[in-house]
Structures are given as C-alpha cells and as structure tokens.
Amino acid sequence: MTLRRRIALVAGATRGGGRGIAAELGAAGATVYVTGRTTRNQQSEYKRPETIEETAELVSELGGEGIAVQVDHLQSEEVKALVERIRREQGRLDILVNDVWGGENLFEWNKPVWDHDLDNGLKLLRLAIDTHLITAHHALPLMIENRGGLLVEVTDGTAEYNAEHYRLSPFYDLAKVAANRMAWAHAKDLEPHGATAVSITPGWMRSEMMLEHFQAKEETWHEATKIQPHFVISESPRFVGRAIAALAADPQKARWNGQSLSSGGLAKEYGFTDIDGSRPDCWRYMREVMEQDKPADATGYR
C-alpha cells in the first residue's frame, strides 16, 4: 500500500484520532497538511500539551512529509488561505479528512435540552458541523480537479448504531449523526467528479485524554481495565488511521461512496491490524457484550 505523491489534509490533527490518521497517511508515504489551533507557541482553550508541530514531525518520521498549519476551522478566511497554500505548494489535493471536533468539555452526559447548558451545546454544534462544512466548501473544489479524490468525515458511531441509540445528549447526538449524513450528502455531489465521500468511526479510542482519564499510557493501557473492564476492546488512534490509509490506497474505493464505515469493519475488509497486531471490533462488542451486560471479554472481538 502506498500513497506516495498523494496530498492529504487532515483537519483537526493536533491529537487523538486526527494525529493517528495523519501518522498512518504519512507511513504510507503521503504529504500531509495537519491543522489545529495548538502550536508550540499558542494553546487553544483546551490547555492541552499536544501540538500540530508534533503531529507533523511524526508524519515525517514515519516516511511521509508533515506540514503543520495553525488554522481555526470556524474561520472561513483561515481555511480559504490554507487551501490556497496547498494549491500554490502542491497543485492538488487527493485526500481530505474532516476530523475537527473540540467538544469534549462542552457536552453534559444524559441531560435533556432544557437542562443542558445552551451556550455550550450550540458551540459544540458549531465545532462539529460548521467546521466540517466550511472546510469542505473551500477544499473540495481543489480535490475534484483530479479524479479519484477521497473525503472522510470522522464521527462517533456508525449510521446504523446512531440511528438506534441516544448519544449522551441532544447536542452530542445531533453532532455525531450529522457527520454521517454529511458524508452521504457529499457523496451525491462528488460522484459525478469521480470522487468518493464516506464517514468513519473509530471504536473506543485510546486518545491522550481517554488515557489520562484512566491514569494510563499507551504502553500500559491494559491497566485501565482494572477501572473499566470493557476497555479491553479499546483501540489506538492509529487503527482508524490505518483504515483511512487503506481506503485511500484502494483503486476501487468508489464502491464505498456514501457509506458509514468503522475502523473494525475496514480491518476485516483490508486485512490491517492495530499497532498490537489485533483487530478490535468495538461496535459488535458493544452490541453483543456491553449491551447484554455480559462480563468483559474481548475473545473473538479482537
């Protein structure tokens, strides 16, 4: 699998899934523009230590070319300038990954709309929906200049799962359902141009924030199962990155156009594994084990 001479933009690549996606596109040889708001000189309101420069350096260490660009994807002019830079420097865009999120500190678990902080909820929607539409508006005209482009909308939960489950709050629920629908809608517009759009969800991802919550590190993540036994099904951020890299390299990827995909599902299709050599199938595990109140046991699910 190779993505050499392919140009990618991972919007929202400071940490978590975005960093894992950028890393695996780089490992496949792509040139990857990684964006976010936190740099070594300036932090976002998250007050997190991860930076876009670190992500870009990881991309380059793995064999690609990482280019860090500080962008607030709510600001249309900043996104426009980013795409103009990509056009000027590369002349093309082959892969767009919309991974902007930033809502972890804004949603309140299991609260109806009348009890949820309204300002936080509306900001969450702007971060999850407006950023993706702004980025698509500016970047897709460059992508469709060459056939074979790929747009990936990153979300939480497949369309099937989200249609049957209430996701934490009305605001979070809407945000995650919207990304699946956006990919479906973009697919209709992109198909005549020979481009493909999909949505993809990781499983229970071991992001930096999730590992901190369980007081663990990637190297020692199994220790977190003492706190939450079902964490046994978790996956690294690189797993969803490998899913997108495999998809981008597939000359027949148009067969997925408009579909809602998962890292575990694509692992079965393309044969890749997580960094530990396993293939966690989180969404099947959630239905068949967690929701059935069975004891935590990932046997047969990774």
Taking the mean position of all CA atoms in its chain, how far away is CA 104?
A: 14
For residue 265, list its beta bridge partners.
Answer: none
- d(CA 141, CA 21) in angstroms, rounded, equals 22
For residue 198, list its beta bridge partners.
Answer: 152
Start-end of H helices in 30-169: 52-61, 76-90, 118-125, 131-143, 159-164
Angle between helices 170-190 and 131-143 in degrees, nearest 10: 10
Q: Are 267 and 279 in contact (CB under 8 A)?
A: yes
- d(CA 280, CA 297) in angstroms, rounded, equals 12
In this structure, is the dihedral angle defined by the CA atoms of residues 28, 96, 260 and 253, taken in order, positive or negative? negative
Please give the positions annotated as active site. Answer: 172
